[in-house]
Amino acid sequence: MKILVLNAGSSSLKYSLYIGADSHLALHGNIDNLTEDPQEEPDKKTHEDALLEVEAKLKAAGLASHLGDCDAIGHRVVQGGEAFHEATIIDDEVIGTLEDLSQLAPLHNPINLIPIYHITERYPNMTQVAVFDTSYHLTMPDYAFRYAIPNDLYHEHHIRRYGFHGTSHLHIAKKLADTLEMDLEEVCLISMHLGNGASACAIEYGESIDTSMGFTPLEGLIMGTRSGNCDPAIPLYLIRELGYSADEADFLLNHESGLKGLCGISDMKNLVEAVEQVDHEAEVALDMYTYRVNQVVGSYLAVMDEVDALVFTGGVGEHSALVRERILEGFSTRFGIEIDYAENNDADGLTCITTENSEIAAWVIPTDEELEIAQQVLHKLIPDIID
């Protein structure tokens, strides 16, 4: 079986082709510098152009003569609301629901829908499956996902904490369970997906019980350009007192804040280099970043009865030894975490970075959201194949 996974972002299209019951990766790539508005940016490709390029690459590699040669296409969809608890085969009704859900994720779902529209039009008989960032977090209890705002805003307008990066956190839980030779339903961990976007997830017996992102991916940890948690009155102040429009306040918090807002550097690798050159603003930004992770993860440790491991993943979590070191050193000594500095500095792939005496183990586990999507598609179509 050939499963093509598509992950459409605002300016990029990632694609991966998996073959067989073992989900062997046959082709992977990323087409970037795309535009949503070709009239405004005529020199850039559209997502439709990118899909034709993916088709050409499949053909050139001898893997398919066109997209319709694939057995199924799995799509990353950011927001599934409370409607979708698992991977879902796409039909007209599902597309309609995804369009309705775009009001909850206006920056993401409309983009995720573009490849779905394209393939539906060109290959109407193609099996397409939506895999949602949010579905893994629908196991959160109501006291974790509700906001303390009037009830009708939840019941009528669906304002609640949804959480994101669900495919990554689930993939990490499965990998840790395999590594520790446990069933997924037995494993308890705190997953830290640290990249340009960042979130933490408390996973108890294989299920998400809390996560740092909320109604949108803006809530929670400090990120590359997103503020993370801040006083809700700040955007109101920007609008009332400083003359910002709602769109301008939204743009500032999502695109001009976070590490970029603090020191002008959004990329962690460049920020670490600035810290090594004794850049004070970069040092403050890194201190704030790691402190926020300590706060959030520490709050999960306070409510979880068991924790088999803390896990670092994502571009920063997997590749920045300094960030991992700062975070682990930032936890209270009462947690009994002992870093193996040699393992941490040399970590390349799946690695335990704490000593045998550490009361809580810490691991680096590479994430693979596209593989997780492919496996969920495969399981949806052939339920017993990966059980």
Q: Cβ(43)–Cβ(33) under 8 Å?
A: no
The token pair at 249 is 């306040």
The angle subtended at Cα 294 by Cα 290 and Cα 298, nearest 5°, is 170
Count the neighbouring beta carbons within 10 Å of the beta carbon of residue 270: 14
Among 75, 77, 73, CA closest to 108: 77
Question: Would residue 37 show up in a list of annotated catalytic residues for this protein?
Answer: no
Among 372, 366, 314, 379, CA closest to 5: 372
Q: What does the CA dihedral 306, 312, 313, 318 come to, rounded to 10 degrees?
A: -160
| Residue 127, SS3 per DSSP | strand
The token pair at 56 is 């050409």
From 69, 71, 133, 183, active-site residue: 133
The per-residue DSSP string of 49-117 comes to HHHHHHHHHHHHTTS-SSGGGSSEEEEEES--TTT-SS-EE--HHHHHHHHHHTTT-TTTHHHHHHHHH
CA–CA gap between residue 300 and residue 339 (Å, rounded):
20
Q: What does the CA dihedral 293, 217, 82, 88 come to, rounded to 10 degrees?
A: -100
The token pair at 64 is 């398919």
Q: Cβ(198)–Cβ(254) under 8 Å?
A: no
Count the neighbouring beta carbons within 10 Å of the beta carbon of residue 287: 14
User: Which sequence positions are flagged as catalytic?
Assistant: 133
